[in-house]
Structure 1
Amino acid sequence: MAERADGRPPVIRRVGAGISVAALLAAFAVVLGALFRHPVQLVLAVLLLGGVLGAGWAALVRRGLPAVAAAALGGVAAVLLVLLPGVHAYALLATAAGLAGVSFATARTALGRDLPRPPRICRTGPARSGVLLLNPLSGKGVATASRLGDRARGFGARPVELGLGEDLREVAERAVAGGADVLGMAGGDGCQAVVADVARRHGLPFVCVPAGTRNHFARDLGLDREDPAGALAAFGEAVERRVDLGVVDGRVFVNNVSLGVYAAVVRVPGYREAKVATIARCLPELLGPDARSRLRFPGPDGPPGRAADVVLVSNGPYRLERLSGFGSRERLDGGVLGVVTVVVDRARDVPELVTAELSGNVARFPGYRAWTTSAFTVESADPVVDLAVDGEPLRCAPPLRFHALPGALRVRLPPGAPGASPAAAAPKGVRRAVAALLRVLAGRPARG
């Protein structure tokens, strides 16, 4: 969407801002009206729904009599929810949710690209001898289905498909030895990290082509994850920026390293094919009453000896709404690691954690902590520790030492790429969002 020469947002964005603000006010009006006219039914509907969710998850992570008791309480809450007199409470809640959805959707159009602070970039010419490595197994064959190899040739890049059993790092090193001046990778985040490390070691620019399952790195670089072929344009006339990398015991990661519950689940056979079922099957052992975390690490203030059930160390801090989605990062050039830890009391905290997770407010869970650091060490009483490095399962002997590599990787991006991660493009909190929308409505840029 073209911006006006004077920097003022175009009319369509101002209209979107007006619709977004109006829909948000209408949602609040519906909720307030419902509380005034039907306070008992509405409050009971919310409380009973929370009771069903909390009891269900409490039953999931417990064994024996406590699990039966939790399931029974959840069943009673579900019956009472169904028998709640009248349907107006549900209808009003659904109406408010629908209006909030309209507000969020139009806000994306209204805010445009005003909020992200543009990274430092420089324009660069086409690659002279670019090489694109392809993993045909990543993302259920995205590279093959999208004909990325053939399309890469259109930008002057030589495609190299990873063969069965071949070592990706060795293939990348051979490409460098063969004269590659730009290295690209079409695959998942684990593959991106390996090739990015090779490019970093040789001082070569790197092209990220999202051809995996989640493609978090591509998303936070501002690439369109639904258009892997579009990323190939970075082999032509492109823009270049520097981003950070993270390291754990000598292994580079582009996104994050998980320890604790998530890392243990990733190692379970069949996890990738049936994630929800695997998590449900494993939670009783991982968060049950007999489970005890053996991870130890210094907190943000330095003293050692803390323990946690979930530890997430990331290449740049995430803005997390849910642990399951790993959120998004506002920037990849801050020069620091992000650390998130979650401590769960099995007897009390699981329902509250689940509620916070489902509502997208995991940061409000009492056992949640987050901070940034340039280096981080995790100890454990176990001889080996399960990790998930950019989603790939791994086992390492403790202590695990993490550190950041600020500005270590040169990344080439297509000039027309969106250029901002979801976290950078979205304001923090309702108050800032409304303020940004009001600025657009008044004809000013969203960022004040």
Structure 2
Amino acid sequence: MIDRDRLGALLRRERAAFADRNPRSAAEYARAGHLFGRVPMTWMNKNAAGFPLYLATARGATLTDVDGHEYVDLCLGDTAAMAGHAPAPVAAAVQARFADGACAMLPTPDAAWVGEELTRRFGVSEWSFALSATDANRWAIRLLRAVTGRPKILFNSYCYHGSVDESLIVTGGDGPRSRDGNVGAPCDVTLTSRVAEFNDLEGLARELAHGDVAAVVMEPALTNIGIVLPEPGYLDGVRELTRRHGTYLVNDETHTFSAGPGGATRRWGLRPDVVTIGKAIGGGIPAAAYGISREIAERAAGMRDLDLVDMGGVGGTLAGNALSVAAARATLEHVLTDEAFARMEALAVRFADGVQRVIDAHALPWSVSRLGARVEYRFANPAPRTGTESAANADPDLEDYLHVYLANRGILLTPFHNMALMSPDTTAQQVDLHETVFEAAVSELQRA
């Protein structure tokens, strides 16, 4: 239904307008010759317009770039700023903690409070801290390999758990393989990992039957390949199969935290053995955590050959630092509260309804998926049910057109897909502005 020639012409027009509109960002990018890829991290080159916007300030759900343009920020740091930018309780806690020292390699009372609160929200009882979800997943995997004596970890195809080496595996016509673009893999990923499609219990059972899987690491809903929601009975089936095969279950709630105060784990009554979470709990300060069941903790503590104190590979000097823990406490206690999630979800429903109205008005074969406070529009209807289907339905040019069109009119989506996230500071007016601009973008695309 998309005229590709018209799409190409509109994309070129919007990119030219972006370049004209943002000369200071363009100049900053041009002079960053001593940065690999000209950006602090190479993924910042994932942008629709040829160069990234440069940040000046961000408050609440509004961001201002170095050219002075304001944006409704529906990206929110790809979840890192789900609490909103610079939330006042977190800013105050961080400033006070940093003034009194941040990295003394000593615990603070805040850590015990955060552990208790995470247990209340997610159920598992023993918590440890990290600086990123990647490390939280990596260290949980090491523990589970140790206590089971099993070498392999199972993932869903096209999952995302940070840059964990073992997770970069997908299904293929000729069998499991490394995901395209995997950088510097230490070994063939099939030596460390198994893979099954999301929503495929038969495939999961087949892989677990080998008896060598220490843990299934999964998001309760896929998010980073586009939102892929679980079908009825699927998550219960995963839990039953993992128990039957003596395999631990890890829920990575880093993105699915958008489902509610206790993520999908609490919302859907899940019973994982391990929960990992990153980004959002720090309110903008790097923070992450992994929680394990008491049974796993006791098994690990009873294995005298494990070095859990010095060089055993389950921590880092900055993990659990006083600044990150103070930020996590302020975020969980005062910002991402039960009441805040209720408001965020109501706005996400409003956002999804607005997108659906545009899709229906133009008879587009697209769909809308929502996970609590997170919404995404998909270029497929029905929405994809597996990661592989989701990857196959990508349309990079169409996605780039929508992203740069929105950016030129003051709206930012998550750069990796068409995903919008609500924060406690997002307003109904900002949500409605997106509907207006999205309608204009689609109308121009379909104009004869």
TM over 0.5: no
- Length-normalised TM-score, structure 2: 0.24
- Length-normalised TM-score, structure 1: 0.24
**Which protein, 1 or 2, shows the higher relative CO under an 8 Å CA cutoff with sep ≥ 6?**
2
Say which structure is richer in strand: 1
The structure with more radius of gyration: 1
